[in-house]
Amino acid sequence: METIFSESVVIGGGVVGLSVARELALKKSKVIILEKEPCNGSETSSRNSGVIHSGIYYPQNSLKSQFCVDGNRLLYQYALDRKIAFQNTGKIVIASSSDEVSNLENLYKNGHINGVSGLELLTQAEITKNYVEDLTVVAGLYCPSSGIIDAHDLIMALESDLQSLGVIMSNNTFVNNIHSNSSGGYEVEVKSKESFFNIKCDVLINCGGLHATEVAKKIDKMQADKIPTTHFAKGHYFSFTGDHPFKDLLIYPLPSKDSLGIHVSPDTSGKIRFGPDLNWIENLDYSFQENIKEKFYVSIKKYWPGIDRQKLHPDYTGIRPKIYGPSEKAVDFKIQTSDDHGLHGLINLFGIESPGLTSSLAIGKYVSEKALK
Give 184's pLDDT tier (boundaries 50, 70, 90).
confident
Q: What is the pLDDT of residue 38?
A: 96
What's the average model confidence in pLDDT over 130-143? 95
Name the region of 244 (left: φ>0; alpha: ψ -120 to 50; beta: rest): beta
* % residues pLDDT > 90 (the chain): 94
270: pLDDT strictly greater than 90? no
Q: What is the pLDDT of residue 198?
A: 96
Q: How many whole angstroms separate alpha carbon 234 and alpha carbon 282?
A: 10
Q: What is the pLDDT of residue 91?
A: 98
Give 247's pLDDT tier (boundaries 50, 70, 90).
confident
Q: What is the pLDDT of residues 275-292, one digit of tens each?
A: 999 999 999 999 999 899
The structural domains of the chain, ordered by start, are 2-46+152-228+330-372 (3.50.50.60), 91-144 (no CATH), 231-322 (3.30.9.10)
Q: What is the rounded average pLDDT for all residues in the chain? A: 96
Residues 6+ apart with CB under 8 A from 295: 277
Contact 190/4 with Cβ under 8 angstroms? no
Give 129's pLDDT tier (boundaries 50, 70, 90).
very high
1: pLDDT strictly greater than 80? no
193: pLDDT strictly greater than 90? no
Give all strands of the β-sheet with 51-52 in edge-to-edge order.
Answer: 51-52, 147-149, 86-87
Give all strands of the β-sheet with 2-5 in edge-to-edge order.
Answer: 2-5, 196-201, 186-191, 174-180
Q: What is the pLDDT of residues 90-121, one digit of tens each?
A: 999 999 999 999 999 999 999 999 999 999 99
> Does this model's pTM top 0.95?
yes
What's the average model confidence in pLDDT over 171-183? 94
Q: What is the pLDDT of residue 332?
A: 98
46: pLDDT strictly greater than 90? yes
Residues 6+ apart with CB under 8 A from 325: 229, 231, 280
Q: What is the pLDDT of residue 183?
A: 79
DSSP string, 175-194: EEEEEE-TTSSEEEEEE-SS
What's the average model confidence in pLDDT over 67-73? 98
3-state secondary structure of 83: coil
Q: What is the pLDDT of residues 347-363, one digit of tens each?
A: 999 999 999 999 999 99
3-state secondary structure of 279: strand
163: pLDDT strictly greater than 90? yes
Q: What is the pLDDT of residues 207-236, one digit of tens each?
A: 999 999 999 999 999 999 999 999 999 999
Give 194's pLDDT tier (boundaries 50, 70, 90).
confident
31: pLDDT strictly greater than 90? yes
